[in-house]
Amino acid sequence: MFSILLLSLGYKNVLSVDINEKALQQGVSLLEFYNNTCGTDLALDISGEMPHHGMDLICAIDVFEHLTPEYARNTIQSKNVRKYLLNLPSENFPYNLGTGFHREPGHKMRYFEVIDIFEDCGFAIKEKKRFLGLFNGYLLERAS
């Protein structure tokens, strides 16, 4: 859905990446529905793996908290990307109340561990926004 939002905002080269083939196909079906409903002809490239070059910005929505610290660090260091847009759980009281004060299944890192890894890799937070009080969006940019 986020890829479709970017396309609808005028971005031309959007690549949606997911290891879950079913999720990718659902995105394609949703885009077809969007095009039929809105009379647009937006096109979305999909892939099961990250490209190695040619990216201006990586939008990782509900991704990095699922990676091990080592894998996250290797991924960040292997990509020559200047900006990341991340969505991470806030882990505030309402969020923790909703999860029963347990780490969600599949989460291998807490939000501050993800941010620490990005900072260790030379990124700084340029902007932070709250979403519904449960999630935080971070725009991180590589220091020059």
- Dump pLDDT digits (tens) for 39-90: 999 888 888 777 777 788 888 888 999 999 999 999 899 888 899 999 999 8
Name the range with the highest mean pLDDT among 18-32, 46-60, 117-131. Answer: 117-131
pTM reported for the whole predicted model: 0.77
Read off the tokens for 90. 């806030």
Digit-coded pLDDT (tens) for 102-112 = 778 889 999 99
| Strand blocks (E) in the chain | 15-17, 45-47, 57-61, 83-89, 123-131, 135-142
Report the chain's mean pLDDT, rounded to a whole number.
88
Exposure string of 20-43, with b = 16+ CB inside 10 Å and e = fewer, is eeeebeebeeebeebbeeeeeebe
pLDDT at 33: 93
Domains of the chain: 1-48 (no CATH), 50-144 (3.40.50.150)
pLDDT of residue 37: 93
